[in-house]
Every structure is written in C-alpha cells, then in structure tokens.
Structure 1
Amino acid sequence: MTMSIKSRNKITEFIKENKIVILIMISLFLIRALAMADLGVKYSLNSDDLSYVLSGIEFQKTGTITMHGVISAQIMPGMTILIGILSFIFGDGNLLWLVLKLVWITMGCITAFLAYKCVRVFAPKWCGVITLLLFFSPDFIWMDNLILTETPFTLCLVGMIYSTLMMGKTQEKKYFWICLSMYMFALMFKANIGIYPVFAFIYLILVGYDFKTLIKQGVIIGIVLLCFIIPWSIRNYKIYNTFIPLTYGAGNPKLLGTYQGIGYPSDEELDYKTNVDDVAKEKFKKYYDNGSSEKPYIKRYISLETDGIKAKYRQSEWWKSNPISFILSYLILKPLDMMKSVFYWNEVFSINKLILQITNSINWIACILCLYTGIILKRRLAEMFLLISVYLGNILIYATTFSFDRYAAPFTTLRFIFIGIGIYLVYQLYDLVKCNKRNLFR
C-alpha cells in the first residue's frame, strides 16, 4: 500500500515537472492522427511505400524478402520484416494500414522526444522544448503518414545520437549497447548509415572517452556486423550467385545523379553500346549462359547493375570532358540542393510548400548563428562536430548518387538538435555580454 502511494506520488511529481513536454508530445501525436484522418488511412505515394507494404505481406505469407514483386536484395530487410510481423498479427487489409500508420506516427513522436533528450544532455528544459516544437513542421507530419524507411530510420538515427552523447558524458557501458542496437536497427533500414561509427569514434576521442574501451567496443561492433553480413551475404549468394554484402540497386539513383548539376554529357555524344551494353553482357555472361537471365529477379538485378555500369561510364566521360563542372556538381551543387530541399510532395492542412522552404531557410540561419556562437564561446564544439559530420557526411554520400529531398529528410532532425543546444549558447553569450556591460558601467 505504501509502495503504491509512493509510486503514485512519483508519477504525479513527474507529470507536474514535465507537463509542458507531455502536452507537446500528446499534441504531436494528435496532429499526426488528424493528418492521417485528412489524408486517409490508406494514403500512399503508390511508389516505394506501397511496395514496402506488399513486401511485408508477402514475407508474412511466404517468408521471402521481395521488392516490386520479385525476390530482392535491393533493400535492407528491416521494412519487410517489421511490416511482416504486423501483417501476421493484423492481417493484410484496412486494419493493417491503420496499425502501420499509428506505429509510424508513434515512431515520429518518439523521435521528437529523443531529440528533446539530446538537447537536455547539455541545455535546460526550455531549449529542449524549442527542439520539440520544430517537429510540428508539416513536412514531418506528412512524412510520418507515409510507410517509408525515413520514419523508423530517423528514430534510430536520433537514438544513436542520444546514446553517443550520453556515452561521452557518462562513459556508462549501457549507452554503448543502446547505441549498438540503434545502429543495427538503422542499418536494417538504410545501408548508408554504416559509416556512423567513424563519426562517433572521433567525437568520443574529442571528449576524452577511454581509448581502450573504445577499441574494445569497436571490435564488438565489427563482430555484430559480421553476424548479420555473413548470413545475409550467403542468402544473397545463393540467389544471385555473386557476393552482395548489403544491397544492390544503387546503380539506378547513381545513374539519375549523372543528369544533375551542370556540364554533364548528353546521351547523344556517348557510345552506350560499346561501353555499357557490351560490358554488361560480358559481366553477366554466366546468367545468359545458364538461362537464369530470364528469371524476373535476375532480370531486375541485371537491369539495376547495368544502370551502375552506365553511371560509371557517364561519370568517367564527364570527368574527362569537364572536371571542374563535375567537382562543382558533386561537391557543391548537389549537396546544396539536398540541404535546401523539403520532403513535402502533398499539402497537409493546406499549408503551402513555399512556407516550409522559407522556414527551412530560417532554420539554416539559426544553425549558422548557433555554430558561430559556439566558436566564440569555445563550448560544445565536440557535440557540434558530431552533428555536423553526421549530417554533411551522409548528405555527401547521397550526393554521390542522386540528390533527392527524401534522402535528406531524416538528417533535418540533426539541425533541430543543433538549434536546441546552440540556442542555449546564444543565451549564455547574451548573458555574458550583459554582465560585462554592467561591470563596465559600475
């Protein structure tokens, strides 16, 4: 009885202390649910999102990982397995769609809370609340109503950032295991995040994390990665008779990316037959010889890999003919295009995309101001390095393939965290200047 009263008192105290945060979290969920009601439970782009749902249903029925209707290693298995589990419980009709939307909305809200927690590691509550409020942005409300990899991946990404920050601050081992779990889950949705441990390693060195412990934990990450990559590669080898450690299919976005920027070669001036078609026939000769090239999943594999051959050829010719425009396009124009982009293809609550583009520009101005303040005060530079390196590192990786607003969307949350931590530095600088003025006129 006494324990029950104590527990109730703790809950009451927690609610009193965090009532603003709780109200915001409830509001974040409700506004996403209202958007779901407005857009429709089965609302989709009829693109990858629908393919993911069908892939999950197929996995539930047959245990096979597919994409676009054929056996595939084009995607990491996270979406297929997650949707497959929910399909096993809730079927494959309207109820499944409702549950998926509610799960995605919940993940979006948890992401917002974890971003708040990231800020609270170094700043007071009001700074964390500012970060929370940024998640009312209509593009995030809309994104959380799409069954795409972006929402669960963003949750894992922010979870990794939080646990890395806590590793640096407390050096408690539990945060390493949380970080590792989030990393592996993130990898199940997007293979590009594989580079994250490099940025985390540098950050932890900068904040004085025990080096021996860091090396041991690096070895553990490597072992855990191998525990996934080895069976996944074996599965892929059995199907495609070639080594695919993570995914294939990057050739298509890579090819599309060769038509972005300035100064890229036109199709008319290139010899695709000699440098693409003939090369592909030789490379995939074994499939043509044994007749497997007619199988739908092999046909798709060859098609996407041929796109990769074409992309490399176009890039090499672009470099030969105009290296300056090539460098400018891949290192400046395409990354800038992603950084300016807003993933918002349909309006929510009749809010125009132009408004979001303006707020995105304001967001960038705030980030630059926060960075400048951090440099002046020489505070939180290691944390800023982590957020900037993860953000820019991934933007540059994606820019080497296809500059796409959807790819950039998850990393916008890092700017929200950056602003939350940085706004406290701006406040500290203001306070410092005010104190100096008082002392000057005494």
Structure 2
Amino acid sequence: MNKLKDMNEEKRIYTYLIIIEIVFMAIAIFSIFTLGDSLLLGSLEKFDNDDAKYIRSAWNLLDNNILSYENIKEATAYIMPGLTYILSLFMFIFGKINGIVAFRIFQAILQGISLYLLFLIGKKVFNSKVALIACFMDALYIAEIYAANLILMEVIFKFLLLLLIYISIYAIEKKSLKLYILGGMVWAIGCLFRPTIAAYPLLILIMWIKDKYSFGEMFKYTIVVTSIFCIIMAPWWIRNYKVFDRVILFTKSSGNPFLQGTFINYDQSKGLGVPYIKGKDVLESNENEMKAGLQRLKIYGKKEPLKYIAWYTLGKTFYFWRAPFYWVINISYIPVIIYHFIILFYALYGMIKYKDKSLNLKFLIMVVIYFNIIYLPYYTFERYSYPLMPLVILFAAYTINDKRCKRIELIK
C-alpha cells in the first residue's frame, strides 16, 4: 500500500515538474519575441558592451574567419571561443539577424533543460519534494527569464555546470569510466566558455579522498579525464600558438579585471596611483595591467593590510552575491531583489544549521565556495554568481521543505 502511495506521489511530482517546465519555457520564449533587442546591454552601432561585441565577433568569424573581439581586424585571445562559435553557427543557419533570435530561443530551451538537471541533482542529493520546490523557486527567479534574452555565455555555462555536477556525483559513486569520460568532455567544453571552471577537478580530488578512492583509481581517472581535456582544448592551444607565437592555455584577458579588483569598493576616483603605460597591443596591455595591479597590492596592501584583507574576502563576496543578475532596474526590480535575499537567507540557514550532511550535499557546498573564491582576485559582481543560483535555490528549498515537514509533525 505504501509502495503504491509512493508511486502515485512520484507521478504527481513529475506532473507538476512538466507543468513548471512548459510554463517556464513558454514565458521565456514569449519574452524573447516581446522584448526583442530591448534588453541588449550594448549598441549594435557602437558595439559598446559585451553582448554587442559577441554579436560582432560572430559576424566577423562568418565573414572573415577571424575570432576577434575589440578590433575586428585582429585575432584575439581576450575571450574564450565558445560563445562566438555557437552564436556564429546559429547565424550561419538562420542568418545574421534571425540567428540572434534563434540563439535566444535555444537559450530558453536550455534553461528548461537546466531546470530538469536541477531536479535530478535535487532528487539525488535530497529527495523529489525538495527537487520540485527548487524547480518551482528557480522558475520564479526572474533572472532566469532575463538571462535567456541576453547574448552572453551565462545560460550555456550554467547548463554545463549543472550537467557536470550531475555527472560528477554519479561518476564518483559508481566509479564508471564512461561517466568520467563524459565528465571530462563537459569540463573541457565548459572551459571553452569560462576558464574559471578549470580548477574544478580539485573538488573531485577532495571527493575522492573523502570517498576513500585508492591511489590507482585516482591515477587512472586523472589520466583519462586529462587526456579528454587536452584533446578538446588542443585546437584552441594550437590556434593561439600559431597566431600569437606563445602558449596561451585559456585567455589573456585577466589583467584589466585583476587591476579593477584592486580598488576597494571599485572606487577609482583617486586615480591609479602607480605608473601604467598602455601596451602596443592587447597582449602587452594585459601584461601591463597585471603588473599595475600587483604594484597597487604591494603598495596599498602594505599601507592598509586589514582593509585589503577584508576587501579580498568579505567585500568581494558581498559584491558577488549582493543582487540578482537582473539589470532592468525600472521593471519590477524591488520584488526581484527581495526574492533574491530571501533565497540567500534560507540557503545560508540550511548550509549552517543542518550538520548531518551527506557527502553529495557537502560537494554542492564546495562548488558554491569554489566559485566564490576563484573570482576574489578579480572584479567581482552578480553576473558571475548567476550560474550558481540554482544550487543556492536548492539549499533554500531544502530548508523550506524541512521546516514544512516539522510543522506537519507538530500538527500530527
């Protein structure tokens, strides 16, 4: 009888999940056709923001077979190639303008798939009820609709991250070579969009140690995953060596974000404070920006060590989480940011309070902490925390479900 009841409960949960998925994707696609280019952050005439520059980059790749960014006449290593290649593929199939619309629809569909991945992760780590609550909460998180309209890599990267987490959990548990190969592929593809995921295997190493993997098992899976990574990344490395005559594993664009990050509260009103000469090209400018940033840390870090320690820990963490990735200030911003803070409160409450944590739950916490830490040396803001919000929402759903269950027990 209980088994039948559980089966009916699971059917209801999946029915609700399907409804959430359909409604969410319908609203996302409707917003794409309704809002059009109104959510572009930059201008397609001036190309003065990331999204417009990515569109121009894809156009230039199609027309001239050059991966560019700031200057269409010069090949670049300022960005990873993932988004430009995906966007140019849609433009090749649908045309330069219709391809942008098709790419947005693709992102809306990808958002729906990400919702399902969130459900699968939640079901594995917690249970179906927590997973369903998380999906419902994530569908209400308006930044998910907003992101589907943007020409940025956040939606694709979030999908790859959730997929990688899901594969990682089962690969570690089952010790499956096929899953490690698949995980290595997703990890490498993720690096083609955001190199901040490059050190993700450190989390897997921690999980291996906690799960008491033998040295032989660790060595075998490391060789396999590293080989897959090198195969996928090799074309990018070869291209960079041919074009720039140097080894560039990921990008040469960390200088400016690093330099910007040395200003407390990003206040640059007092000037740079150290010598800086713009380079002859983008690569030299990047190196000079890194040197200027290190000089600033050396000088001002010694003068005000406690202030800089606070800035590079709590300060940047605050900027990382302080708001939702939703930059439409004049459209329903206040309820969106209130909902964001409610999610953060419940998630943090759950992470801190519930001491009896499974290894998989600890793994999810490590993923969130990892990305928080990896961005601290650079210019940090809410766009970079966006891909982590489904995991944060999952912790909030865990807390909400736990409190709901306790209330039911008290009533009984």
- Residue of structure 2 in register with 1:73 after alignment: 77
Letter in 2 for 1:185: I
**Residue of structure 1 aligned with 2:122, choices 110, 119, 123:** 119
The aligned residue for residue 376 of structure 2 is: 399
Q: Hey, what's the Cα distance between the residues in 2 that align with 1:26 and 1:180?
A: 31
Residue 160 (str. 1) matches residue 164 (str. 2): yes
Q: Map Cα deviations across residues 322-351 of structure 1 (whole Å, 9 max, x no partner).
A: 111111100111112212222111159x32
Q: CA deviation at 1:242?
A: 2.8
Greater fraction helix: 1
Spell out the pairing of 1:10-29 with structure 2 (5 A cutoff): 18-29=14-25
State the aligned residue count. 394
Match of 1:180 in 2: 184
Q: Does 1:128 align with 2:106?
A: no
For normalisation by structure 1, the TM-score amounts to 0.81
DSSP 3-state at the match of 1:243: coil
- CA change 1:185–1:426 in 2 (3 A) is farther
- Give the letter aligned to residue 372 of structure 2: I
- Assess if the C-alpha contact under 8 Å between 2:274 and 2:292 holds in 1: no
For residues 162-199 of structure 1, give each alpha carbon's deviation from its aligned partner in whole angstroms, at most 9, with x where no partner exists.
11122234333333233222211211100010011111
**Aligned mates of 1:39, 1:55 — CA distance in 2:** 23
Equivalent pair of 1:112/1:135 in contact (CA under 8 Å): yes
Give distance in 2, aligned partners of 1:26 and 1:45: 28
Question: Of 323, 346, 350, which aligns to 2:305?
Answer: 323
* 1:405–1:263 CA distance, 2 compared to 1 (3 A): closer
Structure 1 unaligned segments of length 5 or more: list them: 1-13, 282-292, 294-298
The aligned residue for residue 388 of structure 1 is 365
Which secondary structure does the structure 1 equivalent of 2:199 belong to? helix
Q: Could you tell me which amino acid in structure 2 is paired with residue 105 of structure 1?
A: A
Name the Cα RMSD after superposition. Answer: 2.8
Query: In structure 1, how many angstroms separate the alpha carbons of the residues matched to 2:271 and 2:337?
Result: 33
Q: Which one-letter code corresponds to 2:65 in the other structure?
A: G
Asked if 1:218 corresponds to 2:222, the answer is yes
187, 201, 205: which one pairs with 1:201? 205
Using the size of structure 2 for normalisation, the TM-score is 0.87
Q: What SS is found at the alignment partner of 2:200?
A: helix
- TM superposition shift of 1:32: 0.9
CA distance in 2, matches of 1:28, 1:123: 23
Q: Which amino acid aligns with 1:58?
A: N
Partner of 1:351: 332
Partner of 1:190: 194
1:230 CA displacement: 4.5
Cα separation, 2, equivalents of 1:85 and 1:15 = 39
Q: Which residue of structure 2 lines up, in the alignment, with residue 89 of structure 1?
A: 93
Look up the equivalent residue of 1:37 and give its one-letter code. Answer: F
Q: 1:263 offset after TM fit, Å?
A: 9.8
Match of 2:51 among 49, 52, 77: 49
1:209 Cα offset (Å): 4.9
Deviations, residues 109-156 of structure 1 (Å, cap 9, x unaligned): 111110111011133322111111122211121011101011100000
Assess, with a 3 A threshold, how the Cα gap between structure 1 residues 228 and 167 changes in structure 2: closer, same or farther.
closer
CA separation of 1:234/1:168 partners in 2, compared to 1, >3 Å: closer, same or farther?
A: closer
- Out of 331, 338, 357, the residue aligned to residue 379 of structure 1 is 357
Structure 1 CA distance, aligned partners of 2:179 and 2:234? 26
- Matched residues in 1 for 2:241 and 2:313: separation? 35
Counterpart CA distance in 1 for 2:85 and 2:267 is 42
Q: CA deviation at 1:204?
A: 3.7
Is residue 303 of structure 1 aligned with residue 285 of structure 2? yes
**Following TM superposition, by how much is the alpha carbon of 1:300 offset from its aligned partner in structure 2, in angstroms?**
2.5
How far apart, in 2, do the equivalents of 1:30 and 1:263 lie?
Answer: 42
After superposition, the Cα gap between the structure-2 partners of 1:369 and 1:64, relative to the gap in structure 1 and judged at 3 Å, is same
Instruction: Report the structure number with the largest CA radius of gyration.
Output: 1
Is the 8 Å Cα contact of residues 274 and 295 (structure 2) preserved in structure 1? no
Deviation of 1:252 after TM superposition, in Å, equals: 0.9
Deviates more, 1:145-154 or 1:211-220: 211-220
Q: Is the 8 A contact 1:163 1:179 kept in 2?
A: yes
My pick for the range that moved more, 28-37 or 422-431, is 422-431
Partner of 1:410: 387
What do residues 381-428 of structure 1 show as CA deviations (whole Å, max 9, x unaligned)? Answer: x22322222212212221211022211211112212333455555567
CA distance in 1, matches of 2:399, 2:78: 39
TM superposition shift of 1:243: 2.6
Alpha-carbon distance between aligned partners in 1 of 2:405 and 2:199, rounded to the nearest angstrom? 34
The percent identity for this pair of structures is 21
Secondary structure in structure 2 of the residue aligned to 1:189: coil
Q: Please say if residues 92 and 99 of structure 2, whose CA atoms lie closer than 8 Å, have aligned partners that are also in contact.
A: no
CA positional deviation for 1:303: 2.6
State how far apart, in whole Å, the 2-side matches of 1:181 and 1:15 are: 33
Tell me by how many angstroms 1:34 deviates.
2.3
Aligned mates of 1:265, 1:182 — CA distance in 2: 42
Q: 1:153 to 1:424 in 2, by over 3 A?
A: same
Secondary structure in 2 matching 1:195: coil
Displacement of 1:373 in angstroms is 4.3
Give the stretch that moved more between structures: 116-125 or 420-429: 420-429
**Consecutive unaligned residues in structure 2, runs of 5 or more:** 1-9, 43-48
1:338/1:405 contact within 8 Å kept:
yes
Question: For residues 396 and 224 of structure 1, what CA distance do their matches in structure 2 show?
Answer: 26
Which residue, 267, 272, 279 being the options, matches 2:271? 267
| CA offsets 1:245-302 (integer angstroms, 9 cap, x no match) | 210011111111122339999437x341xxx33xx77xxxxxxxxxxx4xxxxx2332
1:66 alignment partner AA: S
Distance change >3 Å, CA 208–CA 422, structure 1 → 2: farther
Matched position secondary structure for 2:62:
helix
Q: Letter of the 1:308 partner, please give it.
A: M
